[in-house]
Structure 1
Amino acid sequence: MSIGRLHHVIFDCPEPLAMATFYSQLLGAPITYTDDDFAVVSVDNRTSGLAFQRSRDQRPPTWPDPAIPQQIHLDVMVDDQAVAHERVLALGATPLPGGDHVYADPAGHPFCLIPRPHWAPPVNG
């Protein structure tokens, strides 16, 4: 028996709506809630997803330097890493040194673009 069920994965960030917009476009999911200090990206307003909470003093991780740890990161499966690379750069992602297809989102959180596993259906198909 579980204690609970995952609701949202929450990112601290200086601009919640900007972060929600970035991840909405990256993942093809709508922004389902927003106020001045909080925004949610999920399939619909009754589904768990990613949430972004205002943190005026949030400091981006310095990965791979451990001075400020990763804090959180996402693996995002993609059909084609080269195509996805160009698209995330256009959204405002920054490639990070020392990793294969590792990027920072606009607030500095790292994420990875991983090849779609053979068992997963196509991302865009």
Structure 2
Amino acid sequence: MKLTAITLDCADPLALAAFHQQATGLAPHPESNPEFAALGGGEDGPVLGFQRVDDHRPSSWPDQGVPQQLHCCFRVADLDEAEARLVELGAGRPEYQPNASRWRVLTDPAGHPFCIVPGG
């Protein structure tokens, strides 16, 4: 069994795909549309997909009123530099950080939490 895709629910697939494309450098799928957009795939790894869901409710992490449902972790060379770049692209930075010296929790523009961790 091989992982082929991770898909996130959201209100605006094209906008969320654009954020993640800028953040990761993954190539957009040529058939992306307002209902479903995708990045990556091929020989390099799984597809990161974004599907439109009516009345999408962003996670309220760390409060569990609306659970995080899923989160991705991304390895970065420098935590502070990556965090600043991602926030400039539109990521949010929740006040609660469980271990900011070892990893950072951010949210994409649709409210999905994701972590950045140091590593080469």
- TM-score bracket, normalised by the shorter chain, equals 0.7 to 0.9
Map of 1:55 onto structure 2:
53
TM-align CA RMSD: 1.7
Q: Residue 89 of structure 1 aligns to which amino acid in structure 2?
A: V
* Unaligned ranges ≥5, structure 2: none
Change (3 A) 1:83 1:54: same
* C-alpha distance after superposition, 1:15-48 (max 9, x if no partner): 0011111111111111114012000110549952
The secondary structure found in structure 2 opposite 1:86 is: helix
Map of 2:108 onto structure 1:
105
More contact order relative to length (CA 8 Å, sep ≥ 6): 2
- TM-score calculated relative to the size of structure 2: 0.87
Q: Judge conservation of contact 2:4–2:41 (CA < 8 Å) in 1.
A: no
* Unaligned ranges ≥5, structure 1: 117-121
Map of 1:114 onto structure 2:
117
Q: Judge conservation of contact 1:29–1:42 (CA < 8 Å) in 2.
A: yes
**Within 2, Cα distance between the matches of 1:76 and 1:96?**
17
Q: Residue 15 of structure 1 aligns to which amino acid in structure 2?
A: D
1:64 aligns with 2:67: no
1:12 aligns with 2:24: no
Name which one, 1 or 2, has greater alpha-carbon Rg: 1
Q: Residue 36 of structure 1 aligns to which amino acid in structure 2?
A: P
**Within 2, Cα distance between the matches of 1:76 and 1:48?**
14
Percent identity between the two aligned chains: 38
- Following superposition, the deviation at residue 85 of structure 1 comes to 1.0
**Within 2, Cα distance between the matches of 1:12 and 1:73?**
12
